[in-house]
């Protein structure tokens, strides 16, 4: 057994190197939240900001994560933010 911290020497020249097959890594929770946020707005077409924030908070589990998702949506090229009677309305532009 090699001592801790020792590195393994590469195989001698001429011997094939076998790459370990890796399964794709599961999506990180943040990526799933982002995908869910996009799906929510895409499915609705348009949602008022306060309602969107409440729904984002519902599936993200906390206000901080919901606000981060709202900011990401606001800056996404597929989203337009309109102001109607003083309320922000998030509109999905493309699909």
Q: Report pLDDT digits (tens) over 16-30.
A: 555 555 666 666 777
Q: How far apart are CA 41 and CA 58, in angstroms?
A: 14
Please, which residues have CB within 8 angstroms of residue 45's CB and are 6 or more apart in sequence? Answer: 91, 92
pTM (2 decimals)?
0.68
Count of domains observed in the chain = 1
Q: Note down the domain range covering 45.
A: 29-92
The answer to whether residue 60 sits within a structural domain is: yes
| Residue from 2, 69, 9 nearest 39 by CA | 69
Q: How far apart are the first and last CA of the chain?
A: 56
Specify burial of residue 42 (Cβ count, 10 A radius: 0-12, 13-18, 19+): middle
Q: Report pLDDT digits (tens) over 3-16.
A: 666 666 666 666 55
Residue 69: φ, ψ to 5°: -65, -40
The answer to whether residue 36 sits within a structural domain is: yes
């Amino acid at each position: 057994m090699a001592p801790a911290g020792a590195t393994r020497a590469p195989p001698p020249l001429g011997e094939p190197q076998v790459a370990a097959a890796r399964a794709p890594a599961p999506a990180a929770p943040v990526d799933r939240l982002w995908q869910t946020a996009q799906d929510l707005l895409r499915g609705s077409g348009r949602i008022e900001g306060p309602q969107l924030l409440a729904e984002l908070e519902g599936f993200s589990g906390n206000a901080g994560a919901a606000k981060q998702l709202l900011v990401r949506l606001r800056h996404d090229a597929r989203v337009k933010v309109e102001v109607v009677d003083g309320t922000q309305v998030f509109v999905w532009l493309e699909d």
